[in-house]
């Protein structure tokens, strides 16, 4: 199963749930939890094997290989920064497994479960009642600037960065805020920005 397709399907389901009643979601964390929960269900039994070994076999339950679902919250962007993605889909084709020689050379202090390559990442912002659209546009730009280096760093592997701006207010949003009238394609790579109002879901006009 294409993990990016599962991500797109999960986002669509989250938007549909937001449209049902946006006031069920009072914070950005609520929306993050919504999307994570939907994606956990979408991925079902899809897991990625990761070989550990830094700790004792007992710590892993008698084996040095774990199975983990590809979707993660607050996942590290890289070992070079403390920044984290709101939500990430791990790259199942580029998993880094434990190598004792490399770990000693690089002085790693644990397994690489928390620092795996990411296939797709989502950043979420929420314009609660009273927050200006101008601020929302600035937030989207900040998310794009956060995601862009990840795209540039992974030239040898595909990467999709998605910025989602949810708007709680039902007040009209200027048409210039959107690009086009419908989302006509699901990107597999690159950067994509979307605006979700109480009634619409459109591409963001940067």
Collapsing DSSP to helix, strand or coil, 31 comes out as helix
- Nearest CA among 9, 31, 19, 74 for reference residue 164: 31
Residue 184 clears pLDDT 70, i.e. is over it: no
Q: What are phi and psi of 136, to 5 degrees?
A: -60, -40
Cross-strand bridge partners of residue 165? 125, 195
Q: Cα 80 to chain center, whole Å?
A: 19
**C-alpha dihedral sign at 195, 196, 199, 202:** positive
Residues 6+ apart with CB under 8 A from 26: 128
What is the predicted pLDDT for the residue at 14?
Answer: 97
Residue 15 clears pLDDT 90, i.e. is over it: yes
Residues 6+ apart with CB under 8 A from 202: 178, 179, 180, 181, 182, 183, 194, 195
CB 197 within 8 A of CB 173: yes
Query: What 8-state DSSP symbol labels residue 95?
Result: P
Q: Select the more confidently predicted residue: 189 or 30.
A: 30
- Mean pLDDT highest for which of 21-25, 50-54, 97-101, 110-114? 21-25
**What's the CA gap between 72 and 92, in Å, rounded?**
13
What is the predicted pLDDT for the residue at 107?
Answer: 81
Collapsing DSSP to helix, strand or coil, 202 comes out as strand
Arithmetic mean of pLDDT, 127-155? 89
Q: What are phi and psi of 102, to 5 degrees?
A: -65, -40
Each residue's pLDDT tens digit, 60-84: 888 888 999 999 999 998 767 788 9
CB 4 within 8 A of CB 105: no
Domain ranges of the chain: 3-46+72-99+114-204
């Amino acid at each position: 199963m294409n993990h990016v397709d599962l991500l797109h399907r999960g986002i669509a389901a989250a938007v549909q749930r937001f449209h049902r009643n946006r006031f069920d979601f009072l914070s950005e964390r609520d929306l993050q939890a919504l999307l994570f929960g939907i994606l956990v269900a979408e991925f079902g039994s899809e897991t990625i094997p990761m070989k550990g070994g830094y700790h004792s076999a007992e710590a892993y339950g008698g084996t040095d290989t774990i199975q983990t679902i590809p979707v993660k919250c607050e996942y590290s962007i890289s070992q070079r920064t403390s920044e984290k993605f709101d939500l990430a889909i791990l790259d199942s084709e580029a998993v880094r497994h434990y190598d004792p020689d490399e770990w000693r050379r690089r002085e790693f202090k644990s397994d690489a479960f928390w620092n795996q390559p990411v296939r797709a990442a989502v950043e979420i912002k929420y314009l609660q009642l009273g927050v200006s659209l101008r601020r929302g546009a600035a937030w989207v730009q900040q998310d794009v600037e956060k995601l862009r280096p990840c795209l540039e760093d992974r030239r040898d592997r595909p990467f999709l960065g998605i910025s989602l701006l949810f708007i709680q207010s039902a007040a009209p949003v200027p048409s210039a805020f959107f690009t086009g009238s419908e989302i006509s394609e699901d990107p597999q790579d690159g950067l994509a920005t979307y605006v979700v109002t109480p009634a619409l879901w459109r591409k963001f006009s940067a």
